[in-house]
Amino acid sequence: MARRGATANPVSARFGDPERRVSGEFRDWLLAAEGERPLRTEVVIERPRSVLTRNDSPDIPFDRSFNAYRGCEHGCIYCFARPTHAFHGLSPGLDFESRLFAKPDGPALLRRAFARPGYRVDVLAMGTNTDPYQPIERRFRITRAVLELCRETGHPVAITTKSDRCLRDLDLLGPLARRGLARVMISLTTLDPALARVMEPRAPGPHRRLAAIRGLAQAGVPVVVSASPMIPGLNDHELEAIVEAAAAAGAVAAAAIPIRLPHEVAPLFAAWLHHHRPARAQRVLNAIRAMRGGRLNDPRFGHRMRADGPWGQLLEARLAAVRRRCGLDRPLPALDTSQFVPPADPRQPRLL
């Protein structure tokens, strides 16, 4: 399948009978054979009752997030969010990349959440599950609407993306950042265009992500580069080069997280390796097992975002060293929560 990440479309059996989940004409369309018409992206409109997601994970530095979309056309084979498509009876494979969900009512629902009397402001994280600047943002502009709401209310926001499409919102991100209300993390996994094309087939290339870092920095937006995921035997040798290139473009901080392969991501990633990098597939998988206690994934809090063993220790030491060398080891100032003014709830009648 040209320009897609997953090499298959397996349906998860974790949530019931797989035969009822993707069937008939839609299954035939999704599983179109190589050489037939290309797999097209379908977008389903989702109408949720609430959109503010809360979490209390000790591994994550935020307690609330908003995700404009489910699924992601970027098609990154390693994406830890792929298993969420199984909740909808869809495959974490090609379905995740081609059958997307958009929440156009999201900004209005977020406004209602901000307007509640008991709401307590803290940083709103975007891009924690799927990319808020994936290609369909150009059509739906949901991320932009949320930034407009944050500007109106003085609500702090932190965005994670691997797309230079964020530069289209510099007119919002720049003023928010000058008020201490916004920062952006750019995910830069590799500087090798050939590897990026097969590992992240529909995401902007490395040069465009460096351009995004440069453009954001020039507009006064603090940028963190995330050299993540780091994959032993595949891209981990690039760590220093990635951080150095990002620092030269204007990044002010750097992070690196080892690869995570929860649920269906593990077999999808293994199949991708054997297809695209057969000579090193087993070496990469063995190295991942060595840093995850013999498994391809360790879901335990306190372990899932870091690697155990010698490789993990070396990765942390290398990251610390390159941060110091590039001047990226200073702590980032906290985003400002003091400017928040609750919006008016449009459902409440106005008093004359």
pLDDT at 207 over 80: yes
Mean pLDDT to the nearest integer, 166-181: 98
Q: Residue 193: CA atoms inside 13 Å, Cβ hemisphere, count?
A: 5
Mean pLDDT to the nearest integer, 117-121: 95
Task: Give the rounded percent of residues in the chain with a pLDDT score beyond 70.
Answer: 88
Question: Left if phi > 0, otherwise alpha if psi is -120 to 50, otherwise beta: which for 232?
Answer: beta
335: how many CB neighbours lie within 10 A of its CB? 21
Q: Residue 322 is which amino acid?
A: V
| Amino acid 276: pLDDT | 96
Residue 245 to residue 274: CA distance in whole angstroms: 30
Q: Crossing angle for the helix pair 142-153 and 170-178, nearest 10 degrees?
A: 30
Exposure string (b/e) for 229-261, b if CB count within 10 Å is 16 or more?
bbbbbbbbebbeebbbbbbebbbbbbebbbbbb
Q: For residue range 293-336, what is the model confidence (pLDDT) as tens digits? A: 899 988 877 676 788 889 999 999 999 999 999 999 999 999 99
pTM across the whole model: 0.89
Exposure string (b/e) for 88-111, b if CB count within 10 Å is 16 or more?
bbbbbbbbbbbbbbbbeebbebbb
Q: For residue range 225-247, what is the model confidence (pLDDT) as tens digits? A: 999 999 999 999 999 999 999 99
Domain 40-258 has CATH 3.20.20.70: yes
Q: How far is CA 144 from the centre of its chain?
A: 17
pLDDT at 26 over 70: no
Cα separations (Å) of 296 from 226, 260, 300? 22, 8, 13
The number of helices, as runs of H, and strands, as runs of E, in the chain is: 12, 10
Class of residue 13 by CB neighbours under 10 A (exposed 0-12, middle 13-18, buried 19+):
exposed
| Amino acid 27: pLDDT | 43
pLDDT at 7 over 80: no
10: how many CB neighbours lie within 10 A of its CB? 17
Q: For residue range 129-139, what is the model confidence (pLDDT) as tens digits? A: 899 999 999 99
DSSP state of 7: S
Q: For residue range 56-88, what is the model confidence (pLDDT) as tens digits? A: 777 677 889 999 999 999 999 999 999 999 888
pLDDT at 13 over 70: no
Class of residue 161 by CB neighbours under 10 A (exposed 0-12, middle 13-18, buried 19+):
buried
| Amino acid 346: pLDDT | 63
